[in-house]
Amino acid sequence: MEPKLKRLFIKIGLYTACLLILIITGFPFIFLLINSFKDMPEYLTNIWSLPGKIFLGNYQKVFRPDFLRYFINSAMVSAASVFLIVLSASMISFAFAKMQFRGAKVLYFMIIAGMMIPVHTTLIPTFTLLSSLHLNDSLVGLCGPYISYNIPVAVFILTQFFKEIPKEIEDAAVIDGCSTIGVFRKIVLPLSGAGLSTVIVYTFLNIWNEFINANVLINTTSKKTLPLGIREFYGFQTVNIPAILTAILVGSLPVIILYFCAQEKVVNGLTQGAVKG
């Protein structure tokens, strides 16, 4: 087989594989979109085809003031938690990556050991602690567990990124009169955009979709987050499946938008260190 023809077949195979992956990964979103415009009877009789008539009742239910309240609560909790996670994890990681002190390795492994602790085993202690602090059934109290659960993985990712920054750049900044805080703020953070983006997207996705802690810690209806709000479409005897699919579709948009805005840096962050040269 001629080299040109061989390269052509390879390209056709690669494009075919990419097309299949696109169809497989994009099908759930298309399924949600199509069925969000159906009412319950049409959904039960015709799941897989396009809607015979556009039905906007599901979107009217999703965009009610009470459901928008759930959306806003999730946005507030996720944004505040991600900000504090990135802030605290970046400072901790800077100390582990750029400073030498006794017990650093032991402390580092103690922190990342938190990645191995199942979240469900901490529900009772977390509830007891927040109750003693009078922070249960509050969005502020909900941020605490989210921050503590995600700091270990954030420290693990950022520490590796900070170690990759050449020491010569930091030494040059110190010679120019830059303090330790200045090196962290003006050198390390700007050069770690890929790592920070990876942590932001990863932690935001975890917090936005989290259900167990929110279900245990939040009782007041007006303080519920989006995953709890979706349960409102479950009746005692019936389930409004198209409305649930519409709520899931609308609820997934912030995560999708965030990922598309930061996808290049996230991909770079996940592949950083895989190839050396």
Residues 6+ apart with CB under 8 A from 39: 55, 57, 58, 242
Q: Which band of pLDDT confidence, cut at 50, 70 and 90, is reported for residue 191?
A: confident
CB 115 within 8 A of CB 154: no
Among 155, 77, 175, smallest CA distance to 110 is for 155
Q: Which band of pLDDT confidence, cut at 50, 70 and 90, is reported for residue 1?
A: low
Predicted TM-score of the model (pTM): 0.83
Residues counted in the chain? 277
What is the rounded average pLDDT of the residues 95-106?
88
Q: Could you give the CA distance from residue 9 to residue 13 in angstroms, rounded to a whole number?
A: 6
37 phi/psi in degrees, rounded to 5: -100, 20
pLDDT digits (tens, 9 = 90+) for 26-69: 888 889 999 999 988 888 888 888 888 888 888 888 888 888 89
Residues 6+ apart with CB under 8 A from 197: 262, 265, 266, 269
What's the sign of the alpha-carbon dihedral 200, 205, 207, 208? positive
pLDDT digits (tens, 9 = 90+) for 199-250: 998 899 899 989 999 999 998 888 999 888 887 777 655 678 888 888 888 8
What is the rounded average pLDDT of the residues 117-127?
87
Domain ranges, ordered by start, for the chain: 59-271
Average pLDDT, the chain: 85
Per-residue pLDDT, 275: 42
Q: Could you give the CA distance from residue 13 to residue 198 in angstroms, rounded to a whole number?
A: 31
CATH number belonging to the domain at 59-271, selected among 3.40.50.10860, 3.40.1640.10, 1.10.3720.10, 1.10.10.60: 1.10.3720.10
What is the rounded average pLDDT of the residues 163-174?
85
What is the rounded average pLDDT of the residues 122-140?
90
